[in-house]
Amino acid sequence: QSVLTQPPSVSGAPGQRVTISCTGSSSNIGAGYDVHWYQQLPGTAPKLLIYGNSNRPSGVPDRFSGSKSGTSASLAISGLQAEDEADYYCQSYDSSLSGSWVFGGGTKLTVL
């Protein structure tokens, strides 16, 4: 059971917009800690997608955007493309677990 809760799967057709939620609690996201997002393509290592809630590293298309409100965060992907099919993970910090970084359980994005 992950500390941060994500939907196991989402799907969308090419060109559509999808969102992936990441729900936490008052000891992590709700405490004001930043949320970061990673993309894991099949058979590869996770890659940073969004940091500091809504910032994109250089090279990440502006089709990817992040937001945070209260005890939740969201990753939005617009103009869906086939190469976006991957697992997506959110990450934050939890002050109740001996102070450690925590991840969501991951969301599998299927491009129909």
Partner 1 sequence: QVQLVESGGGLVKPGGSLRLSCAASGFTFSDYYMSWIRQAPGKGLEWVSYISSSSSYTNYADSVKGRFTISRDNAKNSLYLQMNSLRAEDTAVYYCARNRIAARPLNWFDPWGQGTLVTVSS
| Among positions 7, 25, 47, 63, the unique one binding partner 1 when judged by CB under 8 A | 47
Q: Does 108 bind partner 1 (CB under 8 A)?
A: no
The DSSP line for 75-91 is: EEE-S--GGG-EEEEEE
| Among positions 23, 93, 109, 111, the unique one binding partner 1 when judged by CB under 8 A | 93
Q: Does 85 bind partner 1 (CB under 8 A)?
A: no
| Region class of 31: left (phi > 0), else alpha (psi between -120 and 50), else beta | alpha
Shortest Cβ 68–partner 1 spacing (Å): 12
Q: Hey, how many other C-beta atoms are within 10 angstroms of the C-beta on 36?
A: 22
Q: Hey, how many other C-beta atoms are within 10 angstroms of the C-beta on 80?
A: 20
# of chain residues touching partner 1 (CB under 8 A): 27
| Among positions 14, 17, 26, 52, the unique one binding partner 1 when judged by CB under 8 A | 52
Q: Does 60 bind partner 1 (CB under 8 A)?
A: no
Q: What is the DSSP letter of 4?
A: B
